[in-house]
């Protein structure tokens, strides 16, 4: 998702005001250092900063997309290289364990005695009378 670019209502209003004041006098001076040329300079400074900010956001969005793509490639290669070690040395080997895999002979198995785990309980879908209007809202029962 691209970052929201910035636009300034204050800047837009200042540009309109400067254009209107320019029609009075291009060198308008209302005293205390408030001149149309100084106002125009500050407007240009703000436009430059806003442009630089929005450009930086676009660059950041590009870097983020590149990073996500590289991360996906890295995840794929991580999986493939572990599978390569498993193919070469076997899933029960010390090498597979050293590469970060869990050796086949050390994996936990679900026990049938004791408290049942959620994945070992059977589930069934049952139609109920209320729901989405067709009377067939699936509900999970154990």
Q: Whole-prediction pTM value? A: 0.57
Q: What is the pLDDT of residue 136?
A: 55
Phi, psi for residue 2 in degrees, rounded to 5: -75, 145
Q: What is the pLDDT of residue 128?
A: 47
* pLDDT tens digit at each of 142 positions of the chain: 678 899 999 999 999 999 999 999 999 999 999 999 999 999 999 999 999 999 999 999 999 999 999 999 999 999 999 999 999 999 999 999 999 999 887 878 767 765 555 555 555 555 544 555 555 555 555 4
CB distance 124 to 141 below 8 Å: yes
Q: What is the pLDDT of residue 81?
A: 96
Q: For the range 129-137, what are the long-range contacts, defined as Cβ-Cβ under 8 Å and sequence gap of 24 or more?
A: none
Q: Which residues are CB-neighbours of 26 under 8 A, at least 6 positions away?
A: 36
Q: Is 96 exposed, middle or buried (0-12, 13-18, 19+ CB in 10 A)?
A: buried
CA 126 – CA 51 distance, rounded (Å): 59
CB distance 5 to 54 below 8 Å: yes
User: What are the boundaries of each domain within the chain?
Assistant: 9-106
Q: Which of 104, 108, 106 is nearest to 85 (CA)?
A: 104
């Amino acid at each position: 998702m691209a970052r929201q670019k910035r636009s300034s209502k204050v800047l837009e209003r200042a540009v309109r005001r400067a254009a209107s004041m320019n029609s009075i006098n291009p060198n308008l001076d209302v005293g205390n250092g408030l001149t149309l040329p100084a106002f125009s300079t500050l407007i240009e400074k703000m436009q430059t900063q806003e442009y630089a900010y929005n450009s930086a956001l676009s660059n950041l969005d590009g870097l983020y997309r590149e990073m996500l793509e590289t991360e996906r490639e890295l995840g794929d290669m991580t999986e493939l290289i572990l599978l390569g070690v498993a193919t070469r040395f076997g899933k029960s080997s010390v090498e597979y364990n050293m590469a970060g895999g869990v050796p086949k002979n050390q994996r936990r198995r679900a026990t049938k005695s004791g408290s049942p785990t959620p994945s070992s309980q059977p589930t069934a879908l049952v139609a109920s009378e209320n729901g989405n209007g067709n009377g067939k809202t699936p509900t999970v029962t154990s």
